[in-house]
Amino acid sequence: MLLAIPLLAAALGQDLPFDRPEAWAQQYFTTVSMLTGLGPATPERAGDVSIQLESGWIPSLSPSEERVGFSGTSAEDLNKAPVLFRPRVRVALPARFAVVVGGVPPVRAFGVTPRLVAAAVEWTMIDRRAWRASWRVHGQTGSVTGAFTCPDAVVGAPDGSTSNPTGGDARSSDVATLRYGAIEFEVARTLARFGGATPHVSIAVNGIDSRFQVNAQTFGQPDHTLLTTRGVTEAFAGGVAVPLGRRFEASLDAFYSPLFVRRSQTDARTVDGLFNVRGLISYRVNR
C-alpha cells in the first residue's frame, strides 16, 4: 500500500511552477525551437512560394544548468544536439498575408528523435519603399524523445551511487513535448545603397505549455512521472536579410529570451536566458 502511493502520484503527474528548474529546462528547449520570423521577405505576389532551410545554434548548458531534476538537485543529460535544422515552406497570400509551415522530421540524430511541426501566419501592415512593419502569429506542437534522465553513461553504475544517484537501471526513453503559441511584431528597413540589405528587429510574447514524460526504470521500478508547466515569456531578435540574386535570400539573426528560474527553494529568482544565433536560406520557386 505504501509503495502504491508514490507510484500513483507519479502516474498522475506534477504541474510545476514556471520558475522551477525542471520547468526552466522545458522553457529553454521550447524557446530554442520557436519558429521566429528571421527577417522580412522581399516584396511578393500572391501565390509566390519559397523553399527555406533554417538553422539555429543550441548553446551547451553548464553542469549547474543541467542540474534540473528533483527541484535542481539531480543532473540530467540535456546537452544533446548542438544545432537545429528545419525545412520550411512560405506561401504568399492576397492582401499582404503569408503562411509559413516548418517541421523537424523524425530522424534520430545526436541521441534524440524530434517530431516537431510549426506554422505561422504573417501580415505586412506597412509596406513602403524602404520601411516595412509586420505582425506574425506562430506556434508549434510535437515532441523530442531521448535518454535525458538515464543515459547510457549511468547504466551499469550501482544504484544510488555518485555516478547513478537516481538509480537508473536501463536507458530511458523520455519525451519532451514542446508546445507554444506566440505573437511577434517586426520592423525592417531596406538599404538600397547596400544592395538591398534589410536590417530588422522584432519583439514577441510567447505562451508556453510544455510537458516532460519520464520513461525510465529506476531502482527496479518503472518511473513514468509526468511534469507539466505553462507560462508566458518574451523574446527579442535583430539581424539582417540580404538578397542573393533574384531567387535567393539569406538572413542572420541574434535572438534572446530572458528566462526566470529559482535554482533551489532557498535561492532568489534569477534570469538565465537563452541567447543564440539563427540563420535562414530562402529560395523563391516562381520568381
Q: Identify which of 255, 237, 130 has the alpha carbon closest to the alpha carbon of residue 188.
A: 130
Indicate whether 1 pLDDT > 50: no
DSSP type of residue 105: -
DSSP type of residue 197: B
- 12 by DSSP, 3-state: which? helix
Could you read off the pLDDT of 17-27 as tens digits, one per residue? 999 999 999 99
Amino acid 70: pLDDT: 85
**pTM of the predicted model, to two decimals?**
0.91
6: pLDDT confidence band, cut at 50, 70 and 90?
Answer: very low
Length of the chain: 287
Amino acid 2: pLDDT: 38
Indicate whether 72 pLDDT > 50: yes
Cβ-based burial of 251 (10 A; exposed 0-12, middle 13-18, buried ≥19) = buried
115-124, 125-134, 158-167, 224-233: segment of lowest average pLDDT: 158-167
Spatial CB neighbours of 157, under 8 Å, sequence gap ≥ 6:
163, 164
How far apart (Å, rounded) are the C-alpha atoms in residues 130 and 275?
29
**Residue ranges in 100-247 assigned as alpha helix (H):** none
How far apart (Å, rounded) are the C-alpha atoms in residues 2 and 243?
66
Q: Identify which of 265, 208, 201, 207 has the alpha carbon closest to the alpha carbon of residue 236.
A: 201
**% residues pLDDT > 70 (the chain):** 94
Place of cell 553542469: 63
Could you read off the pLDDT of 125-162 as tens digits, one per residue? 998 888 999 999 999 999 999 999 999 888 878 877 77
